[in-house]
Each structure stands twice: as C-alpha cells, then as structure tokens.
Amino acid sequence: DAGITQSPRHKVTETGTPVTLRCHQTENHRYMYWYRQDPGHGLRLIHYSYGVKDTDKGEVSDGYSVSRSKTEDFLLTLESATSSQTSVYFCAISAGTGGYGYTFGSGTRLTVV
C-alpha cells in the first residue's frame, strides 16, 4: 500500500489560532490534495499540489493556505481557525496506476471551539 500519513489524527483548537496539518508520503508522487469532508457536502477540494512549490486552489480555499517545499510533505494551514472549519480533513495522493485514482491518508478530525 502507498505510504501516506497525516498528523495529527485529532486536534482541538481555539477560534482565531493558526493550525497546521501535515501530510507525508513515501511514494514520491507528484500530485497531492487536501480535502475536507462534512455531512451533506461530501468531499470538497481545498488545495492541491502538482509538484514542489506548485500549488493551486480548490473549491473551498478561503481561510486556508498550503505549502510544499519537498515532494513528500504537503502542509495545510488554517490561518485563523473558525468554527466553520471544524471538519475531517483528508490528504490524498494520485497514484500512477488504476486510472490515477487517489490513495488517502487516515484523516484529521479538527474541532475549532
């Protein structure tokens, strides 16, 4: 299986604080994605990356930024967390087989209080 890990798995933070979620892959894949999952909304793309220092916005990017300084790491930062950003966050990589589908990390459950 592809090696992709997310950290932390769970986090509770206060409104207004910055939060960084990390996605780490050991597969040397070029494409990486950050999604959030909320009931009734399915999976919504926040940001994605198509190489080191190459990133672009998804459909729900407001309030989020990303960085990718190395192939293996893709960081998602909530610049000033709000309660509406309480969600489950998934990182995914696009594998080179199976029609370029995704392999997902285990997810990060973030609660903003």
Partner 1 sequence: AQKITQTQPGMFVQEKEAVTLDCTYDTSDPSYGLFWYKQPSSGEMIFLIYQGSYDQQNATEGRYSLNFQKARKSANLVISASQLGDSAMYFCAMREHNAGNNRKLIWGLGTSLAVNP
- Contact with partner 1 (CB under 8 A) among 28, 53, 99, 113: 99
* 3-state SS, residue 85: helix
Among 10, 14, 28, 42, binds partner 1 (CB under 8 A): 42
Closer CB to partner 1, residue 41 or residue 70? 41
Strands (E), the chain: 4-7, 10-13, 19-25, 32-38, 42-51, 54-57, 64-70, 73-78, 87-94, 102-104, 108-112
Would you say 77 or 103 has its CB closer to partner 1? 103
Please give the Cα distance from 92 to 33 (Å, whole number).
5
- Interface ranges with partner 1 (CB under 8 A): 31, 33, 40-43, 45, 48, 50, 56, 58, 88, 90, 92, 94, 98-104, 106-107
